[in-house]
Structure 1
Amino acid sequence: MANRTVPLVTLAAVLTAAVTAVIWQPSPAQAAGPSPFDFPGRGATVPFTEFEAEKAAHNGTSTGTARTYGTLSSEASGREAITLDAVGEYVEFTLTKPANAVTFRYSVPDGRNASLDLRTGSTLIKTVPVTAKYSWFYGYYPFTNNPADGRPHHFYDETRALFGTTYPAGTKIRIQVGSVAQSPSFTIDLADFENVPAPIGKPAGAIDVVADYGADPTGATDSTAKFQAAVNTGGVVYIPPGNYTLYSHVIADRVTIAGAGPWYSVLGGRHPTQRDQAAGIYGKYTNEGGPSQNVVVKDLAIIGDIQERVDEHQVNAFGGAMSNSTIDNVWMQHTKVGAWMDGPMDRFTIRNSRILDQTADGVNFHIGVTNSTVTNTFVRNTGDDGLAMWAENTPNVGNAFTFNTVVAPILANNIVSYGGRDITISDNVMAETVTNGGGLHVGNRYPGVTGPTAVAGTWTMARNTLLRTGNADYNWNFGIGALWFWADQGAITGATINITETDILDSSYAGIQWIGNQTTGLNLTNVNIVGAGTFALQAQAPATARFTNVKARGIAQNPPTYSCVGSGLAITDGGGNEGWQTATPYCGPWPAPQYGTTPTTPPSSPPPSSPSPSPSTSTPPPPAGNLAAAKTATATGQADVYGPGNVTDGNASTYWESTNNAFPQSVTVDLGQSRAVGRLVLKLPPAAAWATRTQTLSVSGSVDGSTFSTVKSSAVYTFNPSTANTVNIDAVNTSARYVRLTFTANSGWPAGQLSEFEVYTS
């Protein structure tokens, strides 16, 4: 049967005997389980250590572990939280690393403004305000703030506090109720502890928005005009520590806006009467002569005051169009969308950032966004899709979402692309889908996604972990898969979609789903479905796929596949498959999801990323993968915005370019610790515009970052579009923490150029 396309019912008949029987009796939802940070090498590398409240010491009451929409547990990380409803009740966390700050996720009843105490022992560290004004939405999309509309949801918010001192590992810190006068109860979901560095000083030669333009760091007055005047000068604009009020967004073009750090330089505010105007940094719209070019925004926070969802309001942290631009180390919270980018625009990057508590999406690449990426970014508690691309009327091409962690989107998907060509979604962790979406979604959906904007080209969806994603949709009365395909406005037939090294863990409904029109071109390799509330596969539309080493275990329903499309579900057996096959797929009324069937180990062997104990934080990737992925890169020089961070962002469309006419130039990657280095893979952008060129370079290594030894002498390497502009350097055979490339010539440009610098053990 191998390598032969057959209907599922025919293929599975031979393998039915291998299907393990499951227990049909109802059982409670599986509590907690792995954390989104328990998967080395996947997801964002974050500066905090996360602790789940239900795993900490406490004298409160569990919310339970139900995943039913409209319950506190359904929106909680780990699907469980702790409610405190009496003075003196607490959740107590024991630090595993030094910390001087905390961000905690909480819920209080609607309409309440109260406070909680941070304590260590009998010592009060700080009293922290908490509020319901950014939570509690009602009714159906687009939702209201009126309890009379019923269907309450979006219960949680987050707040942060600096302690004023650094506490060592082993310190016990409590979130404790000091009074119930303003709120009868407080529900604590989790706490993120970190050691925030000192403020960043003003760069040499920078404009100071306070000293030079009179912006108000106390926030008492509107500083929009003063910010705009400073930004209009171009160059580097420095924002000193302070809380700045902006009544409208600032338009940025050909400028660097740099803060003292996201805990110190904070932009916020909203126009007191014109509620469709609020703090944000925008590029120009293309009909205004845009897009903006060469914008860098870094080391600051935009914490808004958006308490409702009105889709036509431009009250996002970032918006407009920005080409050749970068958002780096920015905290986005309490805006409508973290970054809603309306193209056409090209080569835009968000990296090393946090996007929290939005009323709509975390990020949306909308209309003709090309060669752009979101990488190493943490997203939680969005009101709609966590990370999205929407090719409305103009194709999105060559974009990538890599090494991100997306937790608890309250509506829709963790990560999705609606249409698009040559898209990469890799090395991400997605957790806790709530309703109306799944963990990872590909769709020909929404206005303008048809014909030239539909799903096309080659898609790479690799090394993703989907944890407690998928859901029982309250609109449709059936479930959505953790990984799902909706060919809504037309069949998905114009693409090759490669899904590899993917773990679907403890899905709240099905593992994989097809719906709408036909989907073809799917290749699934080394995919684990470990626990599903209903089925391993849910086919509500014809689909053609090749499965190789796709294994399922802990599937609540027997048979483990739902299909009413008969031979329309045709899967080519590439070998190594188990646990999802059946001679007679189920076709009948939708069963209620049953939890608690997730096994502690997957079929045959552990998934590529096995969970580790909580509390946890992200850890370096395993030796088998790209050791340089999302690691720090530095260079002797750079041209414009083409910085060295682009060589480790997982997106071959972004690149580093050294200072022109200044050979020799070098780029260095810090692997975090000494590793065995066997080979390198170097890439330039694969677009046809990057014609064949040769670059002369050498390779050196170091264990301390100061003394480097040559491990590959200078040689000429050819980057050719016919081989994806990729060069392999084998037999490096060294042990190093720092790996350096030194460029001395380039036939195509008077500078060193590199889009990806990958390091492997073998």
Structure 2
Amino acid sequence: MSIPVAPSRRPLRGTPRSSRRLRAAITAALLAGPALALTLPSTGAAAATGVPAAPGAAVPFTEYNAATSPFAHTNGTVLGPDYRYGSLAAEATGRQAVQLVGQGQYVSFRLTRAANAVDFHYAIPDSLHGGGITAPLSLYVDGRATTALSLTSQFSWLYGTYPFRNTPGTGVPDGQVPHDFYNDVRYRFATTLPAGTVVRLQVDPGDNAPWYAINTADFEQVAAPTAKPDGYADVTQAPYNVDNTGATDVTGALQHAIDTASAAGQGLYLPPGTYTVSSPLNVNAIAIAGAGEWYTLLTGRNVEFNGQQNPPSSHVDISGLAMFGNVDVRDDSNSEDTGFNGGFSDSTISDVWIQNEKVGAWIVGPSSKLTMRNLRIQDTTADGINLNAADGPVTGALLRDNFLRNTQDDGLALWSENYGDTDDTLTHNTVDSPGLANNIGVYGSGAGDVISDNLLQDTVTRGGGIGIGQRFDSVRMSGPLDITGNVLARTGQWDPGWDYGVGAIWFDPQQGDMDSAVNITGNALLDSPYSAFMFQNSNAYTGSAVTTPPTAGHSVRNVSINDNLVAGVGSYVFQDQAPGSVSVSGTVATGVGKSGIFSCGAGFAINRGPGDFGWSSSTCGMPGTSPLWTYPSTTTFENATVGTATPVQRIAVMNTGTASATLGTITASAGFTVTPDPTYPCATSLHPTSPTDSANWCMVDVSYTAGAAGITQGTLTVPSSEGRPATVQLVGDTDPIGGTGGVAPPSNLALDATMTASSSLEYFPATNANDDNDGSYWESEDGQPFPQTLTADLGSVQPESSVVLTLPSNWGSRVQTLSVLGSTDGTDFTTLVPSADYTFDPATQNKVTITLPPGTNDRYLQLSVTGNTGWTAAQLSEFEIFG
């Protein structure tokens, strides 16, 4: 049964208060500069000046966009605006960033308010092998060199198909696009900088990344550390004596302190310092307070607070700390690496900074009356906050004033997997640049849920600003769902799986009809690159060239869209692809790109009321011409040798229009050489876009030959009949840059091997041992007699020097007894390394390296396992072989 919402929460008539606040916010943004180029206000400054609060989180910082702020200045290159997946600008807040290439280039920020701390959102290149680089960048205050920030790409750059990996490569448009470029670095100044101070980032000698991209600078005034609350126990004092220097693993000591304090009904205080942990901390009926997000830091592996399930943890209060993980890839085979995970009821999580985790918070039902506020969640490899009603309903949750940026899945999500998300409120949050999926996603249920006064910006791929769907096996939507007073700026994207644009607010009845009440009232949709409102067909259209609607499909009904503003839309105000209907009134559109309505006979009715303006035209068909899509937009050639060509790198070229595109001669600047890609060569034309036609895209190979030491900048130019030539930035560098210097390590020969086993447990096949994923694993049939063997066929006789064996890093210690054998024909095996005990220790990531005898040359390498202290079978997640 749907749960009614109080009328005060559903302002459907007249001029709602949210609409008045919205207009004030938009007016303020327009007065500050072009609304489509600037980030809308998301700071706490409005309250101090008496201006009505703008949508978005009341964050403690003032944000300056390096490319668009009137208080920023640069002699570098301004990138963008760009909306295409795989570009540095498309993933940036505001779709623009500043790039610094070479000594002397800088970007500076003149402070409008006093500050003593800053967080920079930045990108630097990956290393050639995908492990990331580390490089300094000099920071100046009023012209005085202050420090060299240490920047890293270890937690950035993903490749291949979902759920992605770290191995560099450029592949097909439907999923194999290099992405996830940005990370954050924070710094506290020794003193407070007054308004008017100029803070500059500058490339100096020794700042040796080939390039730096700076997106935003968030300056704030950090208060002194919070003192220990009365009645709380200091964990660094007796009887706990927890180390806060970061030198030792304190997981056990912290867990003991939490358990003891919880049993005694006492709170815990974590004073300033670094606390190194390696596994989740279980919490229930406990208050934990840190000294503040800038002072109390939990870091290491599996940095997580874990709540109970069935029944959930309750009366948990955690605040005033930071959680920095070391997650550099998405691994959905485990539930760890999540800031807050599990069930929480009658609990509050506030003022916590979460960065470089898999997920910020994954709340699994049952859960009721959970408040999450003033969280800063950045640079995750999956969701920001997901209310996942998997094991029970999630009810009465309040998510307020949270700031989320660069999550690699939904920023905020209501996923009614098996039960309902009901009476949950998402209000005054800011969600920037989700790298995959939606700024806010709603999957099923929706009974009494409210999404209000949020600031949603810059969707990257596979989603929109707000996505509402009957998807992911969710329970049927029951409504009402109220969406009021939100600002959606530059949301929606061109989807490389469907080959057409996705709307800022979109409905997807993928797994069933959607007929529960959804009220969309008083929102502003600004500069949507494609459509404003989209209704997707479950029998999906198959490319932007297709105008014949699919037959039938699940429908969308009972949607009301009232008093909304659409200002700037690339294609359509309404993209009608599903059967169903919607009621619309008071919706005004300006700056419409192609037509008011896309309709090709899908059986969708728009029932219009009074007050609509600017979107009466209708058409069938996506844009005929469209700029070519090229990626990656910045291609870097690192550690080049003067006079010697580097290995080639692929660059993809795709036609996104509904008509064929003629290609001209593809050229590159001096020092860079273009050759046809042997697998996907470019011809003289590209077919109209369609996900089932590989002839609408092609690839070229580019190499770099340095004429002299240093950095060379160039351009790949792709002329076409689609208008202005498409370009890709090329950067060549002879410098041995940070980290491993961009030099690839020995290649893992097993990645291309055929893997077989003497036996395999169902769902744990031998192929899991060479899928480049430490989270999956091979396991022989449980209880079967030893020995059990795992054999890699490399395809040809090759020299081998070592093997590396791994188990999932979150597993407990165990000893496996094994030997290594080799063969040239797969029949006659000789022992290369005799049987021995090997300890898989989580302290060393459960990794074992075995050196092979000199001169080993075999086609087949075999592991023979004769014992395992951890299980009644042989187990391995990766069997790596190096030459």
Matched, 1:227 2:254: yes
Contact 2:404/2:431 (8 A) holds in 1:
yes
Contact 1:132–1:157 (8 Å) recurs in 2: yes
Do the aligned residues in 1 keep the contact of 2:137 with 2:148 (CA within 8 Å)? yes
Letter in 2 for 1:575: P
Is 1:586 paired with 2:616?
no
- Is 2:186 the partner of 1:160? yes
> Secondary structure at the residue paired with 1:576?
coil
1:54-203 alignment runs, 5 A limit: 54-55=67-68, 56-111=72-127, 112-148=133-169, 150=171, 151-179=177-205, 182-203=208-229
Q: Give the secondary structure class of the aligned counterpart of 1:225.
A: helix
Aligned to 1:419: 444
- Go from structure 1 to structure 2 and tell me whether the alpha carbon gap of 1:208 and 1:573 turns closer, same or farther (over 3 Å shift): same
The residue type paired with residue 96 of structure 1 is T
Bigger radius of gyration: 2
SS of 1:220's partner is: strand
SS at match of 1:75: coil
Partner of 2:26: none
Q: Which residue of 2 aligns with 1:490?
A: 512
1:570 equivalenced with 2:605 (yes/no):
yes
CA contact (8 A) 2:136 2:206 kept: no
2:289 corresponds to: 258
Shift of 1:347: 1.1
Q: Distance in 1 between matches of 2:35 and 2:452?
A: 27
- 2:62 corresponds, among 14, 39, 49, to 49
Quick one: structure 1 residues 503 and 593, their matched pair in 2 at CA, closer, same or farther if it must change by over 3 Å?
A: farther
SS in 1 for 2:575: strand
CA distance in 2, matches of 1:593, 1:429: 29
Cα distance in structure 1, aligned partners of 2:395 and 2:205: 52
Residue 393 of structure 1: SS of its match in structure 2? coil
Per the alignment, residue 238 of structure 1 pairs with 269
TM-score (norm 1): 0.70
Q: Report matched runs for 1:478-557 at 5 Å.
A: 478-493=500-515, 495-515=516-536, 516=538, 517-557=554-594
Distance 2:409 2:83 in 1: 18
In the alignment, the residues of structure 2 paired with residue 406 and residue 79 of structure 1 have an alpha-carbon distance, to the nearest angstrom, of 14
Conserved in 1, the CA contact under 8 Å of 2:169 and 2:178?
Answer: no
Partner residue of 1:300 out of 313, 318, 321: 321
Checking the alignment, whether the CA contact within 8 Å between 1:540 and 1:564 is kept in structure 2 is yes
What is the CA-CA distance between 1:458 and the residue it aligns to? 1.2
Residue 409 of structure 1 aligns with which residue? Answer: 434
Once the two structures are superposed, the pairs formed by residues 337-736 of structure 1 within 5 Å of their partners are 337-367=359-389, 368-420=393-445, 421-447=447-473, 449=474, 453-493=475-515, 495-515=516-536, 516=538, 517-557=554-594, 559-565=595-601, 568-582=603-617, 584-587=618-621, 592=626
Aligned partners of 1:72 and 1:303: how far apart in 2?
24
Distance 1:389 1:108 in 2: 33
1:247 aligned to 251, 256, 278, which one? 278
- Within 2, Cα distance between the matches of 1:116 and 1:237? 38
Hey, what does 1:618 align to over in structure 2? none
User: Displacement, 1:196?
Assistant: 0.3
2:523 aligns to what SS in structure 1?
Answer: strand
Spell out, residue by residue over 1:722-751, the C-alpha distance to the aligned partner (whole angstroms, 9 max, x if none). Answer: xxxxxxxxxxxxxxxxxxxxxxxxxxxxxx
Amino acid at match of 2:87: T
2:58 alignment partner AA: T
CA drift at 1:409: 0.3
Letter in 1 for 2:557: T
Bigger relative contact order, structure 1 or 2, given CA contacts below 8 A and separation 6+?
1
User: What amino acid is aligned across from residue 441 of structure 2 in structure 1?
Assistant: V
Question: Cα RMSD between the aligned structures?
Answer: 1.8
What is the rounded CA distance, in whole Å, between the counterparts of 1:512 and 1:217 in structure 2? 51
Partners of 1:142 and 1:94 in 2: CA distance: 40
SS in 1 for 2:82: coil
User: In 2 relative to 1, CA 590–324 (structure 1 residues): closer, same or farther, beyond 3 Å?
Assistant: farther
- Measure, in 2, the Cα distance between the counterparts of 1:259 and 1:585: 58
- Rounded to whole Å, the distance in 1 between the matches of 2:628 and 2:114 is 41
Q: Classify 1:366/1:372 alpha carbon distance in 2 versus 1 (closer, same or farther; 3 Å).
A: same
Residues 1:326 and 2:361 aligned together: no
Return the alpha-carbon distance in structure 2 between the equivalents of residues 589 and 57 of structure 1: 37
Report the TM-score when normalising by structure 2: 0.61
| Paired residue secondary structure (1:579) | coil
Q: Which residue of 2 aligns with 1:35?
A: 39
Contact 1:556 1:594 in 2 (8 A): no
Letter of the structure 2 residue corresponding to residue 362 of structure 1? G
Distance, in Å, in 2 between the alignment partners of 1:122 and 1:569 is: 61
Q: Would the aligned equivalents of 1:207 and 1:230 in 2 still touch at CA under 8 Å?
A: no
Count matched residues: 548
> Which residue in 1 is equivalent to 2:23?
none
Query: For the Cα contact (< 8 Å) 1:509–1:593, is it kept in 2?
Result: no
Superposed displacement of residue 62, structure 1: 1.6
Amino acid at match of 1:91: V
* 1:590 positional shift: 6.7
What is the deviation of 1:149? Answer: 5.5
In 1: Cα distance, 2:457 partner to 2:444 partner? 23
1:138–1:345 CA distance, 2 compared to 1 (3 A) = same
One-letter amino acid of the counterpart of residue 505, structure 1: L
The secondary structure found in structure 2 opposite 1:188 is strand
- Partner of 1:537, secondary structure, is strand
Q: CA deviation at 1:125?
A: 2.1
Shift of 1:294: 0.4
Secondary structure of the 1:456 match is: coil
Compared CA separation, residues 127 and 254, structure 1 to 2 (3 A): same
Q: Could you tell me whether the CA contact under 8 Å between 1:207 and 1:238 is conserved in 2?
A: yes
1:128 CA drift (Å): 1.1
Q: Deviations over 1:553-581 (max 9, x none)?
A: 11110x32111235x22222220101222
> Closer, same or farther in 2 for the Cα pair 1:32/1:215, shift >3 Å?
farther
Looking at structure 2, the residues matched to 415 and 347 of structure 1 have their Cα atoms a distance apart, in angstroms, of 20
Secondary structure at the counterpart of residue 103 of structure 1: strand
Cα distance in structure 2, aligned partners of 1:423 and 1:335: 27
- Asked if the contact 1:406/1:430 (under 8 Å) is kept, the reply is yes
- Distance, in Å, in 2 between the alignment partners of 1:108 and 1:256 is 39
Superposition deviation, residue 352 in structure 1 = 1.1
Counterpart AA for 1:34: L
- What SS class does the counterpart of residue 67 from structure 2 fall into? helix
Work out the CA distance in 1 between the residues paired with 2:182 and 2:247.
28
User: Shift of residue 139 of structure 1?
Assistant: 1.4
Q: Take 1:325 and 1:591, find their aligned partners in 2: how far apart are those partners?
A: 53
1:280 positional shift: 0.9
Rounded to whole Å, the distance in 2 between the matches of 1:63 and 1:572 is 42
Q: What is the deviation of 1:88?
A: 2.4
For 2:559 and 2:231, the matched residues in 1 are separated by 53
The change in CA–CA distance for 1:399 and 1:147 in structure 2 (over 3 A counts) is same
Structure 2 SS opposite 1:228: helix
Aligned residue for 1:536, secondary structure, equals: strand
Supply the distance in 2 between the matched residues of 1:524 and 1:121 (Cα, whole angstroms): 50
What CA distance in whole angstroms lies between the structure 1 residues aligned with 2:96 and 2:622? 32
Instruction: Decide which of 265, 284, 302 is 2:308's aligned counterpart.
Output: 284
